[in-house]
Structure formats: structure tokens, C-alpha cells
């Protein structure tokens, strides 16, 4: 089955900084309404795609729709814009990038800083900080203020491209998961499932798993799956034990990250399900960083039996994130199999 690249491209392009997910939410709603029994939106903006099963047990799948971005904090006398980050950035990745400021209309700008030609030797040898950067729109203060105000969100500008058997874009973290969840719901549209499925497109993950926490409190899931990208450090200079995952070697089954120790029963179930369905997979242990899996697992009375499907991705939190088409397809296949067969496993502690 070939991937719907046109849809993935549109999902990656749609802006949605944390707390400002309006446009990506609208796209998601348009895609999912024909696929499920019910669609709900909560006060935070999480979108719930609900497919009823044969039993009233609940399976929550979390895929965050927000992308790392920025927010306008100041406009100076020359029209240059200062900003604060929304999500985690390596400051050196901001150099020479274009951004879109979402004001009364979308305004293109560039990340700029002091030119190297006029830096002292001490300045040249310092690691950059996000506060070293400002945004230049090529407009005067009056022109900027006519379109942009303090508090407007900012996203990164970069096209989606195919490279060999890979896709490359800004915001594959976590638009890959949005795409995978939509494609899973398409596949399940006319099929019976054992338990109620709550496919939740969550908000504000990049600033602290906020949407998933609220959604889990509302759903009270029995089982849960996080869907997110993970580090693929299969690059020059990486030792074997540092790679986390590798591109093209299958979807990743999370064992743990900094915010979650996946339930060992869920890990075993996912591995057996993958093997039974001839789905290529690799284990994932990520010692830094977390995902919606933490909220799904913990933010309900008694907790849920939770794990995660992770999509190996190179160059995370940059505008050149890269993932293998095969790994994306394997992730779709594993999610479909896991929610379809979840009533066949012995979930008792042993």
C-alpha cells in the first residue's frame, strides 16, 4: 500500500504552534468526520475521534497536533520582532531560517542575528542562544504593527519533499503521528473493533503534554497508545549504543523514555502482534524526552495499560526532519493490528 503523500504534505504544512492549533485542527476535522461514529472537541482544543466497539472498554490513542514554534514578545522601533520559544529548540538550528508570523495575515520573516563579520573572536566562539536572534520582516514598525501584535504565534517555513525512500519536512514531529492516526481510522472505518477507540489529536504536547493529560482525565482509558516520533541517530559518529533507532528498520516499540516506562504487558503484546502480522519493528529506549504516553498512562484513576508506537526520525526539532516511508507504513500496520486484536491477549500480571 502506498502512502498518501498529498495528505501528509498538507498535514505538515498546516501551522499549529502550541496553543494555536486552529488550522491543523480544521484539517483534521475535515478528514476524520466521515470515518468515525462521533467527533468531539474539548475546551483545550483536543479532537476526539470515537469509534464504538463491541465492548465498552476504552482504548485511547494520542497523537499531538501541535508543532514547536514561537510567540511574538516585542516589536522594536525599527520593526524587528523579538520572540519566545514554544517547545524545545537547539539555538544553532535557527540560523538562516524563514518563519511565518500568523497575525492578521501570514507575514514572512527571517531569523537574523549579529553578522559574523562584526563579531569579536569571543562572540564567534560562544554557543548561540535563542535570545541572540530576532525576526526581520523587511517592513517598518508601522507596517509590522498593522499586521502583527504581541502574542501572535510563529511557525517555521519549509517545504515538504521526498528524498529517496524518505520524506523530509518541518514538523514531522508530530504530523507523522497525525497522519498515521487518520490512516488507521480510514482502515478501520467499516470494520468491527473489540473496544471503543478514542483517537485523540492532542494539543500542547511540545510544552508539557498538556492536552493528553486533560484527554486522559476525560476518557479514563483502560488501554493506551502514544504515537510520536523518536530519535534516529543512525548518523556518522554515532556509536551503536547511541542510535536509539535507525531509519528503514521498522516501526519502533517504546520500552521507556524520560516520562514513561511502558507497561511490560503492552510491550510484550505489541512485539507479539508485530511478529504475528509480519510487521518489522525495533525496540526504543529514549533516555531524554517524553511523549503523550505519559499522560495516557497516568492521568486516570488506577492508570491505563499503555505503550507507544514511535516513528524513527532523523534531525528532530529541525526543519529537515526525515523519516522512512517504510517505517511510516509499518507504524500504521502495527496500530491497526494492536487495536483490532487487543481483546485476544492475557492482560493479567504474571
**CA 334, CA 338: separation in Å to the nearest integer?**
6
> Is there a binding annotation on residue 173?
yes
All cell numbers assigned to 15:
501551522
Residues 6+ apart with CB under 8 A from 5: 162, 167
Write out the three cell numbers for 225: 497508545
Catalytically annotated residues: 205
206 is in an annotated binding site: yes
CA-atom Rg of the chain in angstroms: 21
Q: Give the cell for residue 30.
A: 475535515
CA proximity to 63, closest of 149, 145, 185, 165: 185
Q: How far is CA 207 from CA 64, 86, 101, in A?
A: 11, 6, 19
Q: Is 145 annotated as a binding residue?
A: no
b (16+ CB within 10 A) / e for 216-249: bebbebbbbbbbbbbbbbbeeeeeeeebbbbbbb
User: Does 317 belong to an annotated binding site?
Assistant: yes
- The Cα–Cα gap between 48 and 29 comes to 9
SS3 285: strand
Distance between CA atoms of residues 273 and 198, nearest Å: 20
Task: Point out the annotated binding site for Zn(2+).
Answer: 64, 173, 206, 228, 317
Amino acid at each position: 500500500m502506498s502512502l498518501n503523500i498529498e495528505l501528509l504534505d498538507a498535514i505538515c504544512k498546516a501551522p499549529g504552534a502550541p496553543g494555536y492549533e486552529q488550522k491543523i485542527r480544521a484539517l483534521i476535522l475535515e478528514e476524520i468526520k466521515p470515518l468515525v461514529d462521533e467527533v468531539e472537541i474539548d475546551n483545550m482544543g483536543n479532537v476526539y475521534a470515537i469509534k464504538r466497539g463491541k465492548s465498552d472498554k476504552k482504548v485511547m490513542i494520542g497523537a499531538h497536533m501541535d508543532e514547536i514554534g514561537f510567540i511574538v514578545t516585542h516589536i522594536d522601533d525599527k520593526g524587528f520582532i523579538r520572540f519566545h520559544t514554544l517547545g524545545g529548540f537547539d539555538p544553532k538550528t535557527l540560523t538562516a531560517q524563514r518563519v511565518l508570523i500568523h497575525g492578521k495575515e501570514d507575514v514572512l520573516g527571517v531569523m537574523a542575528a549579529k553578522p559574523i563579520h562584526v563579531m569579536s573572536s569571543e562572540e564567534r566562539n560562544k554557543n548561540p542562544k535563542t535570545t541572540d536572534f530576532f525576526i526581520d520582516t523587511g517592513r517598518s514598525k508601522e507596517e509590522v504593527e498593522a499586521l502583527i501584535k504581541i502574542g501572535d504565534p510563529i511557525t517555521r517555513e519549509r517545504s515538504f519533499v521526498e528524498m529517496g525512500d524518505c520524506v523530509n519536512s518541518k514538523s514531522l514531529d508530530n504530523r507523522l503521528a497525525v497522519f498515521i492516526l487518520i490512516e488507521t481510522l480510514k482502515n478501520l472505518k467499516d470494520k468491527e473493533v473489540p473496544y471503543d477507540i478514542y483517537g485523540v489529536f492532542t494539543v500542547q504536547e511540545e510544552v508539557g503534554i498538556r492536552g493528553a493529560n486533560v484527554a486522559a482525565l476525560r476518557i479514563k482509558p483502560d488501554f493506551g497508545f502514544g504515537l510520536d516520533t523518536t530519535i534516529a541517530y543512525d548518523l556518522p559518529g554515532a556509536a551503536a549504543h547511541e542510535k536509539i533507532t535507525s531509519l528503514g528498520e521498522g516501526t519502533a516499540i517504546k520500552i521507556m523514555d524520560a516520562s514513561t516506562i511502558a507497561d511490560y504487558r503492552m510491550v510484550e503484546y505489541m512485539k507479539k502482534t508485530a511478529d504475528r502480522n509480519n510487521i518489522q519493528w525495533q525496540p526504543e529506549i529514549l533516555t531524554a524526552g517524553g511523549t503523550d504516553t505519559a499522560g495516557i498512562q497516568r492521568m486516570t484513576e488506577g492508570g491505563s495499560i499503555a505503550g507507544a508506537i514511535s516513528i524513527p526520525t532523523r534531525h528532530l526539532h529541525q526543519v529537515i526532519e526525515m523519516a522512512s516511508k517504510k517505517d511510516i507504513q509499518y507504524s500504521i500496520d502495527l496500530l491497526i493490528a494492536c487495536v483490532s486484536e487487543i481483546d485476544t491477549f492475557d492482560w493479567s500480571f504474571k
